Amino acid sequence: MRIGTVLSEHSGEDALVRLADQLRRAADDGLASAWMTHIFGLDALTAITVAGSQVPGIEVGTGVVPTYPRHPALLAQQAMTSALALGPGRLTLGIGLSHQIVIESMYGYSFDKPARHMREYLSVLLPLLDGTAVSMDGETVHAHIGLTTPRAARIPVLVAAMAPRMLQLAGEKADGTVLWMTGPNTVRDYVVPSITAAASAAGRPAPRVVCTLPVCVTDDPAGARSGAAEEFAIYGQLPSYRAMLDREGAAGPADVAIVGDEDAVTTQITALADAGITDFVAYEYAHGDARRRTRSLLKKIIAGA
């Protein structure tokens, strides 16, 4: 199991400088990957390209770029350009549907038929990333285009998938999935078996399962869970994450946060490896000494200590 981290969102004119510094620390600490969320701040793909071009070696990924506001041909063009700047094998493109409240209420697009939309989106995005022109008229996506963008290497695509149809699609068409707010029992009993079966039936390699969860090493687990409940409250209300929390039997995000002392956190991360994930990505939400202890533990796990 590979260990990665989530890059913090920064504001201000020095946001990209601070992001590069954070990525450099992650690389120096031996983390295998660093992932950037795409919400309402920095454009994730642009930001990790700028930061990653200054920090060699470490994998960078988007977690995740929403599909509806960005035509798949434009995303393919941008991703291939980013891959050229980063170098072969460093970029992983995570994409997702986002949420109805964002797509309809904020962007003004229809969120109708989301699974069909993602299938059609991949039917354009994946061939273009492989250098093949596309001519397709779907219900939600239309494209008649080829790209001349130089290709450094194949770019893996992960689909944020929680519903059964999305997991099947991620297994059949993409390279795997990137998860958020999905607890260990749900990963073990639902996500990994579903996506693995879909990939096998399609004759594809075993899928990558990137599991992202909040992490805090502390001697005050109750306080850490209280902090998680406050910081991540919105994810207990959005339908897709709420469904995963309900499947886990969790009242809210705090219940799936990985908290406790070094031994307790190590046990919880190890349980995720046993559940079948390929990557654990830590959202290090701790502050002060707890943040230092969290990163120190991740380094020890990576070193096998």
| Sequence spans of domains, the chain | 161-305
C-alpha 141/C-alpha 121 separation (Å) is 6
Query: Which among 112, 279, 265, 303 is positioned nearest to 211, based on CA atoms?
Result: 279
Query: Which among 253, 96, 102 is positioned nearest to 163, based on CA atoms?
Result: 96
Asked if 62 and 38 touch (Cβ cutoff 8 Å), the reply is yes
Query: Which among 219, 285, 206 is positioned nearest to 5, based on CA atoms?
Result: 285
Which DSSP symbol is given to 187? I
C-alpha 84/C-alpha 71 separation (Å) is 20
Give the H/E segment covering residue 295: helix 288-303
Residue found under tokens 């929680």: 162
Q: What is the pLDDT of residue 305?
A: 52
Phi-psi region of 215 (alpha: psi -120 to 50; beta: other; left: phi over 0): beta
Query: Which among 118, 303, 299 is positioned nearest to 215, based on CA atoms?
Result: 299
Asked if 60 and 20 touch (Cβ cutoff 8 Å), the reply is no
Calculate ∠ Cα 241-244-247, nearest 5°: 150
Q: What is the pLDDT of residue 9?
A: 83
Query: Which among 111, 118, 76, 74 is positioned nearest to 96, based on CA atoms?
Result: 118
> CATH for 161-305?
3.20.20.30
Give the SS3 label for residue 259: strand
Q: Over the chain (305 residues), what is each successive 10-residue block's mean pLDDT?
A: 94 94 98 96 96 97 97 98 96 96 93 96 98 97 98 95 96 98 98 98 98 98 97 96 97 98 98 97 96 98 85
Which DSSP symbol is given to 206? P
pTM: 0.96
Neighbour tally for 267: CB within 10 Å: 11
What distances in angstroms separate CA 286 from CA 154, 233, 259, 269, 305, one per listed residue?
35, 16, 10, 16, 22
Which DSSP symbol is given to 235? G
Half-sphere exposure of residue 39: CA atoms within 13 angstroms, side-chain side: 10
Residue found under tokens 């470490």: 58
Positive or negative CA dihedral for 74, 77, 79, 85? Answer: negative
Residues 6+ apart with CB under 8 A from 94: 35, 61, 62, 63, 64, 65, 157, 158, 159, 160, 178, 210
